[in-house]
Amino acid sequence: MYNPGFNYTEFGTIKNAAGSNNFVLSAKLWIERTGAIGLSAKAGRYGGTFAHKDIAFHFGMWISPRFQLLLVKEYQRLKEDENNRLKLEWNLQRTLSKINYRIHTDAIKEKIIPPEITPLQATSIYASEADLLNVALFGKTAAQWRNENPDVDGNVRDMATLEQLVVLSNLESINALLIHQGLSQGERLKQLNSIAITQLKSLLGYKQIAKLK
């Protein structure tokens, strides 16, 4: 969005190599190869790696679901305050569900969907991968949830808790990485379910959550 000189060719090379076990990439090498402007790396006593706040926030969310939850809650508070003043409507669930959707679908399109396929077949594959995340997090597919809740207006994700939505956002990004690594759907389901359990335990046991709600 902000760097017209970004080297997409080098980025593609790096992305394709990222799934290998011996992949190593320093911040300095990333900057040199892609022409990135959002990061800076300096050596010496007062050196270090520095990032634009957008990147720093995302890095913090990647390594800590608790930090992500705090950031989402603050965003929610500010958004509700803004919309109360402007008399607008918004939905946190729908906003969060879109966070990593593009990353997830791009990985599916690049690594899973064959080049010669109809739009209807592609839709079926996207739905299958969406249900993979549903099973990993909620323990059931979207269709199973609808059958169990025929009178509820909405779907399983609309009814999810904030903690579940934070974990879902993370699972979309992680599943994209696992797809690039070439793991089968069954292998990915096991890993994603284990990650979902770990992150939910961390969030639900976090004392600060009760203060935020």
- Conformation bin of residue 173: beta by default, left when phi > 0, alpha when psi is -120 to 50: alpha
Residue 180 has pLDDT above 80, yes or no: yes
Q: At what angle do helices 162-180 and 65-86 cross, to 10 degrees?
A: 120
Dihedral (CA of 128, 188, 175, 179) sign: negative
Better-predicted residue by pLDDT, 25 or 126: 25
Residue 154 has pLDDT above 80, yes or no: yes
Distance CA 80, CA 58 (A): 22
Dump pLDDT digits (tens) for 4-36.
Answer: 999 999 998 998 888 778 889 999 999 999 999
pLDDT at 93: 62
Lowest-pLDDT range of 30-39, 71-80, 110-119, 142-151: 110-119
Q: What is the DSSP string of 30-76?
A: HHHHH--SSEEEE-STT-EEEE-HHHHHHHHHHH-HHHHHHHHHHHH
Residue 212 has pLDDT above 60, yes or no: no
Residue 209 has pLDDT above 50, yes or no: no
| pLDDT tier at 135, thresholds 50, 70, 90 | very high
CA distances from 119 to 101, 110, 126, 130, 141 (A): 18, 15, 10, 16, 22
Residue 213 has pLDDT above 50, yes or no: no
Q: What is the DSSP string of 162-201?
A: HHHHHHHHHHHHHHHHHHHTT--HHHHHHHHHHHHHHHHH
* pTM recorded for the entire structure: 0.58
Residue 147 has pLDDT above 80, yes or no: yes
pLDDT at 211: 45
- Hey, which of 5-14, 152-161, 203-212 has the most confident mean pLDDT? 5-14
Mean pLDDT of 57-86: 84
pLDDT at 123: 78
CB atoms within 10 A of CB 171: 25
184: which residues sit within 8 A by CB, 6+ positions away?
Answer: none
Mean pLDDT of 189-206: 87
| pLDDT tier at 76, thresholds 50, 70, 90 | confident
